[in-house]
Chains A and B, each alone.
Chain A
Amino acid sequence: AQRVTQPEKLLSVFKGAPVELKCNYSYSGSPELFWYVQYSRQRLQLLLRHISRESIKGFTADLNKGETSFHLKKPFAQEEDSAMYYCALSGGSKSTFGDGTTLTVKP
């Protein structure tokens, strides 16, 4: 069985502060991990995927197989980063999403 846990439903930081959105997963095989984001009144969209090892909008995420984690990080949060963030695991044909974390960046 595959499982994704995002322990924080809500996360609030001040503009310019570092932010880390936590994601832990459970999967017996070799997982593909993603972060999706949903800005207010917009559709859910891909932010980044671990196989690309890229930085998008200043966000990075490193897959830690030992800790089974895929935390999303940004060194300096911006107000426009306020959104709902979902961690997702793709194993085989199915994708499993976490419950999401609502990030609020205060001015």
Chain B
Amino acid sequence: GAGVSQSPSNKVTEKGKDVELRCDPISGHTALYWYRQSLGQGLEFLIYFQGNSAPDKSGLPSDRFSAERTGGSVSTLTIQRTQQEDSAVYLCASSSRAGGGYEQYFGPGTRLTVT
């Protein structure tokens, strides 16, 4: 079946501009995660959605970052007034349920470059 998809695959933007990154999870998966993967660093948790519950935003690095998930499916990560340090690969993952023991299925990522 179809896996997690993300778009765009690459995004180059100028410093100060806003960007939107999209994630389509696996159909039926109720949990959705966003991570940031920077060069030489690990996966940094950003935000997680589980069903209709309030999202866990504890990993968002600043108020320039926000995310929403519409209809329990597609999610959009928005970065306002981008900075060069926002350059990274942004990964989305979904799982059938949140919590321990459930495998996360990752998308291919969006490589964001802020010039």
Q: Which residues of A contact B (CB under 8 A)?
A: 6, 9, 31-32, 34, 36, 43-46, 49, 51, 86, 90-100
Contact = CB atoms under 8 A, between A and B. Distances in A.
Contacts of A95: 33, 45, 104
Interface of B: 3, 31, 33, 35, 40-43, 45, 48, 50, 56, 58, 91, 93, 98-109
A90 B42 contact: no
Contacts, number: 56
B101 to A, nearest CB: 5
Contact of B42 (A45, A86, A91): A86
A49 B98 CA distance: 15
B108 A43 contact: yes
Q: Mostly helix, strand, loop or mixed at chain B's interface? A: loop
Contact of B101 (A32, A43, A96, A100): A32
Given A43-B107, A46-B103, 10 more contacts: A9-B40, A31-B100, A32-B101, A43-B3, A44-B106, A90-B102, A91-B100, A93-B98, A95-B45, A97-B42
A94 B42 contact: no
Contact of B43 (A91, A92, A94, A97): A97
8 contacts: A32-B101, A43-B106, A49-B101, A86-B42, A90-B101, A93-B98, A94-B45, A95-B33
